[in-house]
Structure 1
Amino acid sequence: MNDTDEPVLACRGLAAGYGSVRVVRDFSLRGSAGSVVAILGPNGAGKSTLLNTIAGLLPRKDGDVLIDAKPLRSGRPGEANRRGVVLVPDDRALFTTLTVRENLSIARRDGGLTVDGAMDMFPALRKRIKVSAGALSGGEQQMLAVARALTQNPRVLLIDEMSMGLAPVIVEELLPVVRRIADETGAVVILVEQHVQLALEVADAAMVLVHGGVRHVGPARELASTPGLLEEAYLGKAG
C-alpha cells in the first residue's frame, strides 16, 4: 500500500452488503505490485463480504474498484477474473472428484503457473498429483486451492481465511508462501486471516475492520509491534 506507486488495485469509498444492509462502509485501499495487505478483524466484521465484492460476486453498494487504474464494473465476476482478480474462497471450491493435476490444468491460463510450477511452489502436492481433491488433507486442499488460483495468472489474489480448519503447525507452513507469491509473481495479495501475528509477519500493510468500518490502517510491522493497537481495534479499549 505505497502511495507513491501506481496501484494495481484501488478501492475508493467502497460500500458492500446484502439487500439494504451495508456490511462494509467507506472502504479505501491502494495495493501496489508485489505487496501483501492483511485484512484483519473479529468475526462478522465484513472481511469476506469485502473480498466477494472486490471479486464481483456481490454488487457494490457504492464506491469504485480499479485494476491498473481502469474501473471494474460492479457485480461482474467474469470480467473481474479476466482482468486478473482471482479469489481463493474460504471453502476452497475445489473440484473434489478431479485429481490434483486436473484441478490445476482445467483452470490454467496463459502466463499462469504451470503444473510443474505448482509442484515447485507446493512440493507436498507432487506425490498427490493423481489423487482426487476430495481425498486430500485439509492442508493439501488449501495448497491446491492457492496453486489453482496461481495458474490463472492473477494480478490481484484474494485469499479468504487460508487457515480455516487447519492445525496451527500447517498454518505456520502455509502463510509464508503468501510472501513468496507476492515477491515472485508481482501480484497484489489481499489476505483475510484470523491468525493475526502470522499474517502480520508476511504482510506489508494491515487494515483492521470492525463492524464494517476501518478501525486501523498502517504498516504491518507497526501493528505487530504495538499490541495496544490490536487490543483497541478488536476490543475497543485504549492502547
Structure 2
Amino acid sequence: MTSKIEESGERPTPVLECRGLAAGYGAVTVVRDLDVRLSAGQVLAVLGPNGAGKTTVMTTLAGLLPRIEGEVVVNGTPLPSARPGAANKAGLVLVADDRALFTSLSVRENLQIAQKSGGPSLEATMEMFPALKKRLKVSAGSISGGEQQMLAVARALVQQPKVLLIDEMSMGLAPVIVEELLPVVRRIADETGAVVVLVEQHVHLALEVADEALVLVHGDVRLQGSAAELAVHPERLEAAYLGEAAAV
C-alpha cells in the first residue's frame, strides 16, 4: 500500500491498532472483525452507506461504548473497554457528528475549556482555521455551520490528540464548505503527526486527503486498502457499497 507519509525500510511503529474489534449495543453486534494499523501522520477514511456501523466504530474507539471483542491499542498500550477517560488520557479525542459545542459560550471559551496544559496555544490552533480568528468573541451558537465544525475540530486540537476521531465532518454543510474543510484534515496529520480517523460521506474528497480507506457495509469490512489505489478504481468502491467485494 502506498502512503502520503515517508516510508522507511522498516514498518513504522503503529500509533493506533484495532485487533479483531467487534462492537455494538448490548447483545447486538453491529461491527465485526475490524483490524486497523495506523502510524503517526496517517489518515484513515472510514466509508460506507448509512447504517453500516461507522459511528459505532468511532464511539467504541473513544471508549463511549463497550467492546464486544478485540483490542484497541495506542502506542503499544491496550486500552480498557468503555473507559472514555482512559481513552482520552491515552490521546484519543472524538469530534462527534453533532459537534457537541457549548452554544451559549463564545468561541474562545469553548476552546479554553478544552485546552490541555502543554498543548498548542489558541493562536497556533487558529492558524489552521483563520476564519475563526474574527469570531472568538461570538457565541458558538451564532456562528455558521461551517464555522461550528471548524470550532469542533479546533477544540479537539487544543487537547493535543495522538488519535483524532472525526465523525461526519461534512454533515449538514454545503459541498463548497466541505471542499475547504477536508484538506485541513491532511494538514493536521502532516503538521501534528496525529493519526486521523475520518468518517465521511463525500467519498472522493475523503480519498484525496486519506492514506488508507475502508468500506463498511452492514458491519463488515468489504474493502480495505490504499486510498490512492481506491480513488483510481471507483468500480471497486461501487461493488463494495453494493456488497459485492471482499476485503483486500
Q: TM-score, normalised by structure 2?
A: 0.94
Question: Mapping of 1:29-108 within 5 angstroms?
Answer: 29-108=36-115
Deviations 1:157-195 (CA, angstroms, capped at 9, x unpaired): 000000000000000000000000000000000000000
Quick one: which of 222, 225, 231 aligns to 1:224?
231
Which residue does 1:23 correspond to in 2? 30
Which residue does 2:193 correspond to in 1? 186
Which residue does 2:202 correspond to in 1? 195
Which residue does 1:130 correspond to in 2? 137
Kindly provide the amino acid, as one letter, of the partner of residue 199 in structure 1.
Answer: A
What is the Cα deviation at residue 72 of structure 1? 0.2
Q: Secondary structure at the match of 2:132?
A: helix
Equivalent residue pairs, number: 239
- Unpaired runs of 5+ residues, structure 2, are 4-9
What is the Cα deviation at residue 111 of structure 1? 3.4
Quick one: which of 159, 167, 178 aligns to 1:160?
167
Q: Is the 8 A contact 1:24 1:46 kept in 2?
A: yes
- Percent identical pairs in the alignment equals 71
RMSD: 1.4
Q: Is the 8 A contact 2:217 2:243 kept in 1?
A: no
What is the Cα deviation at residue 68 of structure 1? 0.4
Which residue does 1:234 correspond to in 2? 241
Q: 1:4 and 1:237 mapped to 2: Cα distance?
A: 31
User: Which aligned runs of 4 or more in structure 1 are off by greater than 6 angstroms?
Assistant: none
Q: 2:126 and 2:133 mapped to 1: Cα distance?
A: 5
Q: 1:7 and 1:180 mapped to 2: Cα distance?
A: 20
Kindly provide the amino acid, as one letter, of the partner of residue 223 in structure 2.
Answer: H
Which residue does 2:6 correspond to in 1? none
Q: Is the 8 A contact 1:112 1:154 kept in 2?
A: no
Q: Secondary structure at the match of 1:201?
A: helix
- Unpaired runs of 5+ residues, structure 1, are none
Q: TM-score, normalised by structure 1?
A: 0.97
What is the Cα deviation at residue 112 of structure 1? 2.3
Q: 1:162 and 1:72 mapped to 2: Cα distance?
A: 25
